Amino acid sequence: MIDKRQPAALVGFAFVAAWIGFSFGEALLCLLGALVFWAVAGVLEGKIDLGELQSRLSGEDEPPAPPAPAAAPPRPARPAGRPRVQ
């Protein structure tokens, strides 16, 4: 079973290899591209909710929920016995 440290080590190795092979700026662009594709895959799989993410990043509170409808007034009690029909 693969834990989270193994892919992190692989990403770190790939970053350092890109840094050595190209330059630091190009290595950062590789990480940025990986982050963008990771986010797009998360949205497509439904693991990232853009609406929730936007509300968290905007710092605004959600609008308050509308008040619950008032309960209907209680019915008057019926007198005991048989109803009268006219």
Place of tokens 């770190």: 12
pTM given for the model: 0.47
Place of tokens 């970053």: 15
pLDDT at 37: 84
Q: Which pLDDT tens digit goes with each residue over 27-73?
A: 888 888 888 888 888 888 888 888 888 888 887 665 666 777 777 77
Q: How far apart are CA 57 and CA 62, in angstroms?
A: 12
Greatest CA separation for the chain: 101
N- to C-terminal Cα distance for the chain? 83
Smallest CA-to-CA distance from 27 within 11, 15, 9, 13 is with 15
